């Protein structure tokens, strides 16, 4: 049986993101993933495990230098018409020292019929991309259709992708403010890169210092959309600064001790009605919701809003009427990883630049290795023979 393996390196993924990825396509991909997650309970057409999203609890192994997370997931159907991908496992290594450029991650995609490995995708940049797409989706569902000012907290890949995708999605955006704890190289490079990529948008960089506090307050007060993607354990801004009608995407926290906003934003400003990627995960992992003692029936999964219909429309109205701002909280779900990796594979298969490492190539590689081995042996024997000839010539000259 002929098998083939598609390998997408970090450079390959970057090439696809920059040249082949349509922002609309990636947002639609996440919409489908969220819709599948919110329709995965037994009942209403879901009659077996095969019909639902399967997301076993993630496993963790620890080493002195990093923690490695293993996250398998299977979707009941592909997320795009052209894709056949449904099963994958993502492996992520989180350094204990921290690092720039994204978290090292790899997604292994399996063939749905044979179970054999179909593709290996470098996922370092994809986590940030799928989170940004989720935020854009929530923004489209809940926020003003013509935002002009966005304010983003953080300076990593998450914020870079949020800024890029939001500006690409909303031509109405004229101002983008990036707020970071310090003016480090990563922060300065981000501001410079965004300024070059989007010359028509005013990109402003601010650091969280006492002297910059009035400017940060002004940026928050003027923002139609606020996004946070930090590891903070303290609120990043005063919820009183947020203007009525604003939409907030919270991406950073993933433990009960982490929080990027204060409880007042969750309880009073949003009226305890929070849109989430997955309710059960957010209840135990999102520090902001844990701190505010939010209950499961106060959460609305974004997949329900995507699905629409009477239930979706009712839930959307409840969210919008509960307070004077809307909030989307995401901790990430495995279905997103399968969906974004599947999309990358689909884009690569449309591009002839990418080659398949097939069984034939493996055999050729083995043959080349064998030939090299024979060449080394021959070289060693030739050197030994040359040495013997030289020795005989020396003896003849001596005699």
What CATH number does residue 189 fall under? 3.40.50.720
Q: What average pLDDT does the structure give for the chain? A: 87
Tally of domains in the chain: 2
43 has a pLDDT exceeding 50? no
pLDDT, tens digit, for every residue of 336-392? 999 999 999 999 988 776 655 544 555 555 566 677 776 767 667 777 666 666 666
250 with 106, same domain: the answer is no
Mean pLDDT, range 232-252, rounded to an integer = 97
Looking at the domain assignment, is residue 380 inside a domain? no
181 with 212, same domain: the answer is yes
Sheet (strand 326-329) strand order:
202-207, 175-180, 149-153, 225-228, 247-250, 326-329, 274-276, 299-301
Domain residue limits at 268: 132-332
* Segments of 241-346 assigned E as strands: 247-250, 274-276, 299-301, 326-329
Looking at the domain assignment, is residue 392 inside a domain? no
61 has a pLDDT exceeding 80? yes
99 with 213, same domain: the answer is no
164 with 214, same domain: the answer is yes
Looking at the domain assignment, is residue 381 inside a domain? no
Looking at the domain assignment, is residue 375 inside a domain? no
pLDDT reported for residue 134: 97
39 has a pLDDT exceeding 60? yes
Distance, in Å, from the CA atom of 109 to the CA atom of 55, rounded to the nearest integer, reads: 15
Looking at the domain assignment, is residue 78 inside a domain? yes
Compute, in degrees rounded to 10, the torsion defined by CA atoms 211, 149, 101, 233.
60
157 with 275, same domain: the answer is yes
Looking at the domain assignment, is residue 315 inside a domain? yes
pLDDT, tens digit, for every residue of 278-293? 999 999 999 999 999 9
237 has a pLDDT exceeding 60? yes
pLDDT, tens digit, for every residue of 293-347? 999 999 999 999 999 999 999 999 999 999 999 999 999 999 999 999 999 999 9
206 with 295, same domain: the answer is yes
- What tokens does 225 get? 């959309």
Looking at the domain assignment, is residue 347 inside a domain? yes
Looking at the domain assignment, is residue 370 inside a domain? no
174 with 213, same domain: the answer is yes
C-alpha radius of gyration, the chain, whole number: 26
pLDDT reported for residue 358: 46
pLDDT, tens digit, for every residue of 92-108? 887 766 555 557 789 99
**In sequence order, what are the residues at sequence separation of 6 or more whose Cβ sits closer than 8 angstroms to the Cβ of residue 186?**
100, 155, 156
Tell me if 224 sits within 8 A of 247, measured CB to CB.
yes
69 with 97, same domain: the answer is yes
**In sequence order, what are the residues at sequence separation of 6 or more whose Cβ sits closer than 8 angstroms to the Cβ of residue 384?**
none
Question: The domain spanning residue 11 has which CATH number?
Answer: 3.30.1780.10
Tell me if 239 sits within 8 A of 273, measured CB to CB.
no
Where is mean pLDDT largest: 35-39, 57-61, 207-211?
Answer: 35-39
192 with 227, same domain: the answer is yes
179 with 325, same domain: the answer is yes
280 with 349, same domain: the answer is no
């Amino acid at each position: 049986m002929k098998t083939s393996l598609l390998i997408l390196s970090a450079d390959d993924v970057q090439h696809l993101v920059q040249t082949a990825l349509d922002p609309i396509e990636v947002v639609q991909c996440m919409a489908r993933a969220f819709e599948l997650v919110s329709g995965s309970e037994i009942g209403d057409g879901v009659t077996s495990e095969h019909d639902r999203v399967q997301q076993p609890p993630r496993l963790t192994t620890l080493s002195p230098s990093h923690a490695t997370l293993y996250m398998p997931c299977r979707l009941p159907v592909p997320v795009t018409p052209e894709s056949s991908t449904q099963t994958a496992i993502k492996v992520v290594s989180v350094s204990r020292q921290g690092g720039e450029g994204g978290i090292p991650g790899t997604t292994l995609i399996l063939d749905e019929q044979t179970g054999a490995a179909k593709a290996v995708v470098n996922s370092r940049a994809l986590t940030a991309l799928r989170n940004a797409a989720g935020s854009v989706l929530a923004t489209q569902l809940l926020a003003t259709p013509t935002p002009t000012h966005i304010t983003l907290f953080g300076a990593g890949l998450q914020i870079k992708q949020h800024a890029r995708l939001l500006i690409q999605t909303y031509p109405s955006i004229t101002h983008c403010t990036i707020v970071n704890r310090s003016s480090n190289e990563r922060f300065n490079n981000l501001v410079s890169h965004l300024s070059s990529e989007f010359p028509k948008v005013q990109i402003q960089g601010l650091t969280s210092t006492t002297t910059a506090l009035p400017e940060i307050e002004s940026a928050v007060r003027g923002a139609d959309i606020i996004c946070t993607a930090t590891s903070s354990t303290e609120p990043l801004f005063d919820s009183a600064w947020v203007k009525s009608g604003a939409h907030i995407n919270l991406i950073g926290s993933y433990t009960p001790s982490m929080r990027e906003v204060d409880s007042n934003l969750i309880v009073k400003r949003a009226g305890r009605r929070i849109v989430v990627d997955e309710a059960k995960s957010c209840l135990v992992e999102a520090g902001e919701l844990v701190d505010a003692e939010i209950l499961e029936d106060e959460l609305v999964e974004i997949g329900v809003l995507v699905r629409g219909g009477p239930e979706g429309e009712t839930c959307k109205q409840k969210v919008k009427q509960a307070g004077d701002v809307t909030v989307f909280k995401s901790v990430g779900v495995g279905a997103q990883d399968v969906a974004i990796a599947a999309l990358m594979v689909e884009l690569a298969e449309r591009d002839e630049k990418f080659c398949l490492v097939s069984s034939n190539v493996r055999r050729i590689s083995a043959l080349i290795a064998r030939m090299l081995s024979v060449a080394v042996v021959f070289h060693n024997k030739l050197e030994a023979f040359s040495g013997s000839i030289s020795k005989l010539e020396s003896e003849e000259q001596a005699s």
